Chain A
Amino acid sequence: MASKNLTLFNRIRDSDIYFSFIKSPTAIVSTIILLIIFFCSFFVEFVTPYNPFDPSSLSLMDAFTPPSWTEDGLARFILGTDGQGRDMLATILYGSRISLIVGFSAVIFALVLGVALGLTAGYFGGKYEMIVMRLTDVQLTVPSILMALLVDGIARGIISRELHDEMAIYVLIFAIGISEWPQFARVSRAATLVEKNKDYVSASTIIGVSNLIIMFKHILPNILRPVLVIGTIGLALAIIAEATLSFLGVGVPPTTPSLGTLIRLGNDFLFSGEWWITFFPAIFLVILAFSINLLGDWMRDTLNPKLN
């Protein structure tokens, strides 16, 4: 086992991807930032002593405390507090967790659905392929944000109002996921068409390997690179989409606020001068999306030899 791991490690160390990674400061910095954000968001209970959703721990006396470095700031609230006296940093981290959960789930949903349809469409071709591709065509003409809004609107009509808040997060994941799958389907179909015509696939067919195994053992690993790039960029898009929907008031409810909800709630205080309530969640969101995009951009340049 040990020797096997070693060779895998050596392979990684020898690979061009690793080389280009350690040569790219932006890739390293964005990865570090992302790791910190992921860690702090998922282990937020251990990172901050405050729980913004425990009413007993809140005091309205603390409401609207500005950031600690300003004149009226308090050292215990680094980024200040909001209208209910909740610590901004803790609120943001809890919100970021929701945003990340929604983002990741939506992308994984879109990825699995898109790759499954794209791979099979590219492999089998014929009428099935045509139907899948027409479907993506039609859906791609409907911008993702509109698609998500629509799904959300329909869900509101179907699900009763009381249930809706509980279901909101699932509806959101579904809405964003469904708006992103065509990208994955197109990319994986295009890549499958290229791979399908390569001789190693013919060789397996001639040997007698079944279609299912050819698709998942042979083709799938070979189309993962572009899918991964789309997935990374898609993650940023999903997080932004979630924030946007929540900002528009059709995303997660204020009881479990995501970054977008926080920005929307803070926006009301912008004109009265409490800028930090909306500013910090917004900056946090931008840093998060920017880091993911930087990483995705680097991945695209590295994994796409055509443009080097």
Chain B
Amino acid sequence: MTDDGERGAPGKGLVQGLAVTLKTMTKPSTTQQYPDVEPELPPRSRGVIALLEENCTVCMLCARECPDWCIYIDSHKEEVVVPGAARARQRNVLDRFDIDFSLCMYCGICIEVCPFDALHWTPEFEYAETDVLDLLHDKNRLGEWMRTVPPPPAHDVLGEPSKEEATAARKAAGPGAATAAKADVRRATPTTADRPPREARSKPEPPEQPQ
């Protein structure tokens, strides 16, 4: 009625508006009822960082790479006397491993750089505190998060075989069968089986070792 009628019949826009709201009403709403219903988080969600203490060698890589220096590590050396060994071994014992989640920006660099898989992402996110100091999680608390670490995602069927797989297959095939073993592994993965090996296209195969 108030439409100028420039775009088609007068009042067309008014009717279209009514149709949009009516259609929206009949569609289910996307609201997540979070405290009542747990959210469905995407895989590899970054909730909190868990520490597997046994794997940590106190190499300090994580603490050094942390962009905002929120990882605090203290350790001491311990002598381990192995019976029958020529001399006592030394190993690092972790005294303190704290992550300050009030500083952490969840970049995940510490987890990326850890050479021994001592740090893991877990999707748990409900650890808000009323005191900011309580966001400093010590190694016990970080260790408790290990229970919530999800299993690693399945291997991408289109991806390269993992290094471990390739090495194991090569070893099983015996010395000098490196290239054949690689091809075996690739044939074992179903979807890449009938495609030419990627390396064959990108770079020439190394010449066969003389038997």
Report whether chain A binds chain B: no
Binding site for B on A (CB under 8 A): none
Binding site for A on B (CB under 8 A): none
